[in-house]
A and B are shown apart, each in its own frame.
Chain A
């Protein structure tokens, strides 16, 4: 079983739609949960960072973590064509491995006008 499972998509939605991106994980040691956005041929950009179960909102983005189910989600409201990118979930166990990130496969999102 992979440590992280992420639906690679691709996902295509019309402008203004609500987008839901999901990852499941199996490593109980993961304590920190992140979402990154990566445009083609660019490095990942941190979107959301959280370490507790529940929801965290930042503008049009909401990150949701359910530690009991080992499931995290990223919701994008009022999606825009500029949101078209690959979205990566990432996890870290903290402690001595603090900073070492385990990434999901990435979901390719296209928002069309």
Chain B
């Protein structure tokens, strides 16, 4: 089946630093990737839609200058949390849409971010 990887799987950083999270589709091309955030015991909330070669589309309430998204290739999207603060601590999950296959979304394993 389709595999999506994320790196790192967990990260701890100091307040004020920036953190980059990578999302890769390993065995399929993904023109569209999605970034979600999940707080403990809550469901996934879509943050932004990332299209290869174009600017990301952010959901209402998500600061685009704080959560920088780059989708430079058909297999890689990155999310950079800039000037992270403790309230940004969360589980960040990406998904990739298999445009040529089943056209369904496959999720990565997630990245747990803890900001001290």
Contacts and interface: CB of A to CB of B under 8 A. Distances in A.
A36 B112 CA distance: 20
A100 B104 contact: no
Q: How would you classify the secondary structure of chain B's contact residues: helix, strand, loop or mixed?
A: strand
Nearest to B57: A100
Interface in B8-62: 32, 34, 41-46, 49
Contacts of B45: 103
A72 B11 CA distance: 37
Contacts of A104: 43
Given A41-B110, A42-B110, A99 B105 contact: yes
Contacts of A99: 32, 34, 49, 97, 105
Q: How large is the interface on A (under 10, 10 to 19, 20 to 34, 35 or more residues)?
A: 10 to 19
B67 interface: no
Interface residues of B, number: 23
B103 to A, nearest CB: 9
Given A41-B112, A99-B32, A106 B105 contact: no
B85 to A, nearest CB: 22
Nearest to B112: A41
A16 interface: no
B69 interface: no
A102 B49 CA distance: 13
Interface of A: 6, 8, 36, 41-46, 49, 88, 99-106
